[in-house]
Amino acid sequence: MRWKGRRVSENVEDRRGGGGVKAGGISILGLIVAFVAWKFFGVDPQQAYQATKQVTSAGETQNTAPTSLTPQQKEVSDFVGTVLADTEDTWTTIFQQQGAQYTAPKLKLFTGRTDSACGTAQSAMGPFYCPADQKVYIDTQFFKDMRQQMGISGEQNQSELSAKDEAGDFAQAYVIAHEVGHHVQNLLGISSQVQKARQQSSEAQGNQLSVRLELQADCFAGVWANHTQQRTQFLEQGDVEEAMDAAQKIGDDYLQKQARGYAVPDSFTHGTSQQRMQWFNIGLKSGDVNQCDTFK
Ligand SMILES: [Zn+2]
């Protein structure tokens, strides 16, 4: 997937930096100061680092992310921001065509856990959209886990990422576009209608409605891919297969089979792998939101 050089959205809130870097106990500034001290004053770098660490950590307690991102973290941030910008351009155009105005969601990147208007977010939950604060939450650890599930091993992953920044990037973009799809459903009032209908239905029926909502978000992700392709020609060979593979592996039946060894249809909330692929493809081929009626 080609993504460099395009607009990067300003709606990404990166909350990984401060905590993540400090957790490792290594401040880059501290290391540089220590190195300079050792090089020019003959101070033992270990000692110098200990000394600077106290100073820098005291001054950095409320450190904000951008200053302390590693080059890899910056790369992830730019990638996510570019995909988010692509969704903004897509949905702004589609809403305009309907005489409406699109309000873009914010996207919060975090590691470990973070607060949301929908409760505390934890990495184990996977990416989600919170309608109450209109934010998409993504723990970047999920991307790593997903690549691993897709059979891209850790080392291969690292080397491919630095060499060609590929290794599952379109699958990641697809996940972001799916979450933005939930935001679109929220703006269109679809989510609240489904919520109401769920309250008047049995558990099995309610789950069916949730599945349809999820499949529509997949279809919306397909619409995003279609429009972005027309605008930027960003797709490369194998990208769509990659997203299909991801959809297959993160479909509920796959997750359930992994967990229990067999699938239990009534408790599906994202749809089967087959359904997810089918609806993503409908959006991708047509680029038309009206084709995404998963409820009929
Ligand atoms: Zn979803």
User: Which pLDDT tens digit goes with each residue over 105-121?
Assistant: 999 998 888 888 988 87
Entry field: residues in the chain:
296
Q: Which residue has the tokens 């590691």?
A: 111
Compute the distance between CA of residue 156 and CA of residue 150 in angstroms, rounded to an integer.
12
pTM for the model: 0.77
Contact at 8 Å (CB) between 239 and 173?
no
- Mean pLDDT check: name the lowest of 15-19, 84-88, 268-272: 15-19
Q: 182 CA distance to ligand 1 centroid (A)?
A: 7
- Per-residue pLDDT at 147 exceeds 80: no
- Give the tokens for residue 200: 């008047």
Helix (H, G, I), strand (E, B) or coil at 100: coil
Q: What is the pLDDT of residue 199?
A: 92
Helix (H, G, I), strand (E, B) or coil at 281: helix
Q: 178 CA distance to ligand 1 centroid (A)?
A: 6
Compute the distance between CA of residue 275 and CA of residue 272 in angstroms, rounded to an integer.
5
Q: 128 CA distance to ligand 1 centroid (A)?
A: 7
Q: What is the pLDDT of residue 61?
A: 38
Contact at 8 Å (CB) between 81 and 105?
no
Query: How would residue 60 be classed by pLDDT, with cut points 50, 70 and 90?
Result: very low
Strand partners, 138: 109
261 or 138, which is more confident:
138
Compute the distance between CA of residue 288 and CA of residue 96 in angstroms, rounded to an integer.
14
Q: What is the pLDDT of residue 252?
A: 60
Query: How would residue 65 be classed by pLDDT, with cut points 50, 70 and 90?
Result: very low
Compute the distance between CA of residue 190 and CA of residue 74 in angstroms, rounded to an integer.
35
Contact at 8 Å (CB) between 247 and 253?
no
Q: 126 CA distance to ligand 1 centroid (A)?
A: 10
- Per-residue pLDDT at 90 exceeds 70: yes
Q: 27 CA distance to ligand 1 centroid (A)?
A: 37
Q: What is the pLDDT of residue 64?
A: 45
Across residues 242-251, what is the average pLDDT? 74
Q: What is the overall mean pLDDT for the chain?
A: 78
Taking alpha carbons only, the member of 138, 11, 15 closest to residue 82 is 11
242 or 235, which is more confident:
235
